[in-house]
Structure 1
Amino acid sequence: MTDDCPHFHVLKTDSDTGARRARLHTRHGAIETPIFMPVGTQGTVKAMTPVQLREIGAQVILGNTYHLNLRPTSELIAELGGLHRFMGWDGPILTDSGGFQVFSLAKLRKLRDDGVAFQSHLDGKKLFLGPREVVDIQSRLGSDIAMVLDECPPWPCERGPCAEAVARSARWAEQCLAHARDTGFFERGQLLFGIAQGSTYDDLRREAAESLAALPFSGYAVGGVSVGEPEDEMLKQVAATIPHLPAHKPRYTMGLGTPPQMLKMIALGVDMFDCVLPSRVARHGLVFTPDGPLNLRNAVHTRDPRPISEEVVNYTTQFSRSYLRHLIQAGEILGCTLLTLHNLHFYLDLMAQARAHIEAGDYASWHRAWCARYEAQ
Structure 2
Amino acid sequence: MDLDTSSIPELTAEELRQLYKLLIATRDLDVAAVAWQRQGILPGYAPELGQEAAQVGSAFALDTSRDFAFPTYREMGVALSLGVDMVEYMSTHKASWHGGLYNPVSTRLAPIQAVVGGSVLHAVGWAHGQRLAAGAGSAEAGLPAAITYFGDGASSQGDVHEAMNFAGVLKAPVVFFVQNNGWAISLPTEEQVAGGTVAARAAGYGMASVTVDGNDAPAVVRATRAALEHARAGNGPVLIEAMTYRRGPHSTSDDPGRYRTLDEERRDGGEDPVARLAALLLETGAADQPFIDDAAAEAKAHTDTVREGIQALQPRPGQEMFDFVFAEPTNALKAQAHAWREESEHV
- Give the TM-score, by structure 1 length: 0.33
Q: Which structure is higher in helix share? A: 2
- Give the TM-score, by structure 2 length: 0.35
- Structure with the larger RCO, 1 or 2 (CA within 8 Å, 6+ apart): 2
Q: Which structure is higher in strand share? A: 1
